[in-house]
Amino acid sequence: MQFIDQARVMVWSGSGGNGCLSFRRERCIPFGGPDGGNGGDGGDVVAEAVPALNTLIDYRFRQHFKAGRGGHGAGRNRTGARGADVVLKVPVGTEILTEDGEGLLADLVAPGQRAVIARGGRGGLGNAHFKSSTNRAPRRADPGQPAEDFTIILRLKLLADAGLVGLPNAGKSTLLAAVSRARPKVAAYPFTTLHPYLGLVEAVPAPFVLADIPGLIAGAHEGAGLGDRFLAHIERCRVVVHLVDGSAADVASAYRTIRHELEAYGAGLAEKPELIVLNKIDAIDPAELAERRQALAAAAGGATVLAASGATGAGIDAVTAAIARLVHVECADTTADERTPEPVP
């Protein structure tokens, strides 16, 4: 299935039905009075998060969605039928934005969560509604309210506990395949990964979801390479796992390049907890490994640098355990923040 993480669609809600102007006329009832019913409400356009979906491909070839209009009122106090709703089923983690991409209409982050995107027009009132003690024969019936129609943007941000970032050919896909059952494309050339992959990693103290993000290069935040489009998928990750190719001549420069892109992109990516992994240690001898590991730690401000090889499996258990512990800590902190009541002013 093709991975589509952004789509532009047009939505129309249903217009309300018109109220009815009618009077009861029956034999032997000379003063029947008004009996015009109200019009029905128009249908809504609703977005619903569905856990079974993981792409927006359903909106690649269909971009127009229109809800049903409300039925008109009728005599004998008959109310028009309500228009049928249209439900847009989207993956969990989908944002619904305005046409310019600036305004956020809804953010569906939980399975089953729903949001009304375009609300249907209210039905008009029939003349029976306006009957009063002083107006026994009203000749007023209101039309239904018009529908809403506009363009929205659906943007998917994958929900993962940890995200793999790094330069092209840093070994992210190989590492993901080594620690999970995900099978991303692996090849010996840059930009092998063209869209994100997710994998479930069974680790202690708890399993976590790991995302493989396509490789970044210098200037990605300005559109170079694959651009910064896929950086949006890291926004929801609790932890950033920074992979550096151990066989590269200058590991410190490779690390700084990605850090600069994260800082330039913004959205809090540079402030997320980071785990640094020197990958492909099977391609270098022990003396070079110690030297490059030390240089990478210095570039990262003295942070701990783990060493691993996705190809041979060396150091993989230590990396997955470190990621699991960091994710577990972040989950605990988030839960504590949510349960802490706000101070009373």
Task: Tell me what pLDDT residue 233 has.
Answer: 81
Q: In terms of domains, do 150 and 245 share one? A: no
215 assigned binding-site residue: yes
Domain extent at residue 108 = 1-156
228 within domain boundaries: yes
Which residues in 26-38 are b (16+ Cβ under 10 Å) and which e?
eeeeeeeebbbbb
In a domain, 344, yes or no: no
Confirm or deny that 311 is annotated as ligand binding.
yes
Given this model, what pLDDT does residue 344 score? Answer: 38
* Tokens (6 digits) for 105: 């209409």
Q: Residue 192 annotated as binding?
A: yes
Q: Does one domain contain both 178 and 56? A: no
Residue 213, annotated ligand binder? yes
Rounded to two decimals, the pTM is: 0.78
Nearest CA among 185, 202, 265 for reference residue 3: 185
Extract long-range pairs of 224-230: CB within 8 Å, 24+ residues apart: 225/168, 225/191, 226/191, 226/194, 228/261, 228/265, 229/5, 229/6, 230/195, 230/196
The verdict on residue 296 lying in a domain is yes
The CATH code of the domain that includes 275 is: 3.40.50.300
Residue 83 lies in a domain: yes
| CATH number assigned to the domain comprising residue 146 | 2.70.210.12
pLDDT of residue 48: 97
Strand arrangement, sheet containing 94-98: 64-66, 6-12, 149-156, 94-98, 104-108
Instruction: Report pLDDT for 227.
Output: 61
Q: Count up the domains in the chain and report the number.
A: 2
The counts of H helices and E strands in the chain are 4, 14
Pull the structure tokens for residue 160. Answer: 């993962």
Q: Is 310 annotated as a binding residue?
A: yes
Task: Specify if 200 maps to a domain.
Answer: yes
Final residue of a structural domain among 102, 127, 156: 156
pLDDT at 153: 96
pLDDT of residue 188: 64
Say if 117 falls within a structural domain: yes
Report the chain's terminal Cα–Cα distance, integer Å. Answer: 53
Let me know whether 220 and 103 are in one domain: no
Same domain, 218 and 71: no
What's the confidence (pLDDT) of residue 343? 42
Q: Which of 156, 172, 203 is the last residue of a domain?
A: 156
Q: 192 and 234 in one domain? A: yes
C-alpha–C-alpha distance, residues 263 and 258, integer Å: 9
341 annotated as a binding-site residue: no
253 is in an annotated binding site: no
Ranges assigned E (strand) in 41-128 = 45-50, 64-66, 86-91, 94-98, 104-108, 114-118
Is 185 marked as a binding-site residue?
no
Does 112 share its domain with 174?
Answer: no
Give domain status of residue 199, yes or no. Answer: yes
Residues of the chain with pLDDT under 50: 1, 338-345
* 242 belongs to an annotated ligand binding site: no
208 is annotated as contributing to ligand binding: no
